[in-house]
Structure 1
Amino acid sequence: MVGVTAFRIRPARPDDAAALVALRAVVYPFLVRGEESMRRLIAEPAPGEDWAGYAAEVDGRMVGWVAALRDPRAEDRDFGQISQCHVDPAHRGRGIGTALLTEATSYLRSIGVSRAAARISPEAVGFAERRGFRASSRVMRFSARDLSLPPCGVPPRQPGIKLCSVRDVPEAALYQAELEATGDVPEEVPSGPSSYETWCHEIRDEPGLDRDSSTVALAGSRVVAFTLLMRDGERGWSDMTATVPDHRGRGLAYMVKVATLRRAARSGMRIAYASNAGENAPMLAVNTRLGYQPVATQISCVAVL
């Protein structure tokens, strides 16, 4: 086409991190991952994770991105994921999204994956369906809490429960709580528990984890609820909130989230984002009570490759 600069697709490099963070802030401002975290994601995928990322460039500038992976915890080894295929709005309509998707699906086929899940914005459903994906009824809801607004209250007290930061608890106790609490988390691709090695990579060693704001609830020395907050400057992301089964229904998720948001606000965070599966009514109710406001939705899609 006359007057249109050609684009190229290439494998991701660790030094793409800054450009990728900037691109994502334009297309998906509610997805928070800082430059150091993104650099590590590209350079050091989780142990046992089959992962590949691809960048689209125009005149040497990143204008699009996609990642493809097979989670090491996936129970079905034929199932993979295509993560956040997105293009700068100023460069859409030129085939860049299609080219990125082609690279991602080719990679998944090369590692033996025959089906793939993806989450897409509602306006992109037609794009996905023309390329073999079928939308499901599953929806991910994203919300934001402006931390410059009045605090969301004081964490309620409960007998026998103590709150402290993630920094102040043994890693083995936090890992055990995740194993107990996340077995029934709704997922597009059913998966087993994290190995300790994978958990250390994704949580313990994650550079973006705000260890001082992230909060746990202790019953004695046992972690019975926790919320993990990822951070990029003044923006935060609620990566996971969970309560062990035998302590549910007591308001502990609300308690740890109140404490985390208050700590984050005091340390200079200005906005906190969260996501919840549409069917996870209890956590949606907690976030509504905390003052989170809806900002976006994504729809789950699946394709046979």
Structure 2
Amino acid sequence: MTVIVRELRRGSQTDAEGFARIRHLALPFMLYTPESIAYGVEHAHPDSHYQPLLAEEDGEFIGTAQVGVIYDSPEPGQAYVNVYVHPKRTGRGAGSLLVRAAEERLAALGATRLHAWVLDEPGNRAFAERHGYRASRSAHFLRLDLANGTLPPLQSPPPGVELRTAADFADDPRPLFRLDAETLLDEPSDVDREFTDYDAWMTETWHNPLFSPELTSIAVVDGHPAAFSAARTDGGTRYGTVMTGTARAFRGRGLAKLAKNDSLHRARAAGFTEAFTGNDSGNGPMLAINKWFGYEICATEVKYVRELG
């Protein structure tokens, strides 16, 4: 049995389907589709040098890696490598080959610090540490049973607040870009990032095949987006929120909770049966909000970091 690592081929439906299938098996709490994988490769920002890798054993896809540069960080040299292997195909060396190929690629691009998310399981953590990575912060995956669970009742917006969807901003999404960029600055992370490129945001966020403008809820105050809950779907029964936040000037008024509750009710009415989200383990306020909605932690990831050179 021979394991090889190669780049995911642009335009290959087979490669995109194989990548998405392995990611779904390894990370069932995240949304991936062949279309979103193919879109990410085709439309990646040039400065990200994004290149997914596939590990193949005798013609069967058994491992994946997301590899790229964190181009929107003000600190140069930041990059990432996220490796996940088919749960029933571990122990064949695919993970190590993927890590080696990714590190060689990123080192050639001038990366000096590599970030990798690893499921919080003994075998996975030991694997990361054997390859020279050290543990950093952690984050939780959360799941909500939309089909059988009980959502808090819909709330009427307070005076001066209107609930709208991102679809209402289709003619000019720039106000949502500004809101997303502001809330990102306060998201817990060990890598600073800045949204300054509107065109890149349109490509990576607004036009992403998973993004659902109709299920993304916005709390609007005096005509200005003040809080939002951004939704994605897999085109089937799975829905996820990838960012929920409030502009600094409007915090403390419950607007993020209001927007997320509206989005969840919209998702359930549209026939989605599972809701997923993720939170940094140190983000107590958002974890409390999600617990109020009925989310339960279903897995934890640990960020591992390696310095190159």
Same fold (TM over 0.5): yes
Rounded to whole Å, the distance in 1 between the matches of 2:74 and 2:251 is 26
Moved over 4 A (4+): none
Q: TM-score with structure 1 length normalisation?
A: 0.94
Rounded to whole Å, the distance in 1 between the matches of 2:268 and 2:144 is 11
- Once the 2 structures are TM-superposed, how far is the Cα of residue 34 of structure 1 from its aligned partner? 2.2
The correspondence of residues 178-197 of structure 1 with structure 2, limited to 5 A, is: 178-197=180-199
Paired residues in the alignment total 299
Query: Alpha carbons of 1:208 and 1:64: their partners in 2 closer, same or farther (altered >3 Å)?
Result: same
Unaligned 5+ segments in structure 2 are: none
Residues 200-245 of structure 1 deviation map (CA, whole Å, 9 limit, x = unaligned): 1112211211111111010122000011111102111211111000
Rounded to whole Å, the distance in 2 between the matches of 1:32 and 1:160 is 35
- Once the 2 structures are TM-superposed, how far is the Cα of residue 156 of structure 1 from its aligned partner? 4.1
Q: Percent identity?
A: 29
AA aligned opposite 1:45:
A
Asked whether the 8 Å contact 2:151–2:293 carries over to 1, the reply is: no
Could you say which residue in structure 2 is the equivalent of 1:122? 120
- Once the 2 structures are TM-superposed, how far is the Cα of residue 193 of structure 1 from its aligned partner? 2.6
Rounded to whole Å, the distance in 2 between the matches of 1:155 and 1:50 is 44
Unaligned 5+ segments in structure 1 are: none
Could you say which residue in structure 2 is the equivalent of 1:55? 54
Greater CA drift, 150-159 or 224-233: 150-159
Could you say which residue in structure 1 is the equivalent of 2:153? 153
- Once the 2 structures are TM-superposed, how far is the Cα of residue 92 of structure 1 from its aligned partner? 0.8
Query: Alpha carbons of 1:34 and 1:184: their partners in 2 closer, same or farther (altered >3 Å)?
Result: same
Give the alignment partner of residue 7 of structure 1, picking from 3, 8, 11.
3
- Once the 2 structures are TM-superposed, how far is the Cα of residue 294 of structure 1 from its aligned partner? 0.6
Could you say which residue in structure 2 is the equivalent of 1:198? 200
Could you say which residue in structure 2 is the equivalent of 1:241? 244
Asked whether the 8 Å contact 1:13–1:43 carries over to 2, the reply is: no
Rounded to whole Å, the distance in 1 between the matches of 2:226 and 2:292 is 21
RMSD over aligned CA atoms reads 1.3
Q: TM-score with structure 2 length normalisation?
A: 0.93
Rounded to whole Å, the distance in 1 between the matches of 2:51 and 2:76 is 16
Greater CA drift, 198-207 or 146-155: 146-155
The correspondence of residues 244-255 of structure 1 with structure 2, limited to 5 A, is: 244-255=247-258
- Once the 2 structures are TM-superposed, how far is the Cα of residue 52 of structure 1 from its aligned partner? 1.6
For residue 24 of structure 1, give the secondary structure of its aligned residue in structure 2.
helix
Rounded to whole Å, the distance in 2 between the matches of 1:290 and 1:156 is 17
For residue 199 of structure 1, give the secondary structure of its aligned residue in structure 2.
helix
Greater CA drift, 173-182 or 288-297: 173-182
The correspondence of residues 58-137 of structure 1 with structure 2, limited to 5 A, is: 58-83=57-82, 85-123=83-121, 124-136=124-136
Could you say which residue in structure 2 is the equivalent of 1:264? 267
Give the alignment partner of residue 279 of structure 1, picking from 282, 285, 288.
282
